[in-house]
Amino acid sequence: MPYVTSIERLGIQTGRLTSCQKHIIDILEIRFEVVPSPLRETINKLEDINQLENLLKQAVTIASLADFQQLINS
């Protein structure tokens, strides 16, 4: 197993966060066509990978953007 430096770990974590944020927005766009800028900004500010992974799953089944916004706010 190769040695991974702390800088590489940080890069990997940042990549995971960015990827998850992008996937959430992509799914919401596919389902609801337009994702308002404030919601995009809120998603892009989230830095908890567990929360983002949960939101990614919710984005697939949530009934509306308003419900998704409410989920983020809670």
Average of per-residue pLDDT values in the chain? 92
28 domain-assigned: yes
Q: What is the pTM of this model?
A: 0.86
Does some domain include residue 53? yes
The verdict on residue 1 lying in a domain is no
- Could you list the residue range(s) of the whole structural domain that residue 41 is in? 6-73
Q: Is the pLDDT of residue 1 over 70?
A: no
pLDDT value of position 49: 94
Please say if the pLDDT value at position 74 is more than 90: no
Tell whether 37 is covered by a domain.
yes
Counting residues of the chain whose pLDDT is more than 90, the rounded percentage is: 76
**35 within a domain of the structure (yes/no):** yes
> Across the chain, how many H-helices and E-strands are there?
4, 0
How many independent structural domains does the chain possess?
Answer: 1
Q: Looking at the domain assignment, is residue 66 inside a domain?
A: yes
Q: Which are the contacts of 40, defined by CB distance < 8 A and separation ≥ 6?
A: 25
In a domain, 63, yes or no: yes
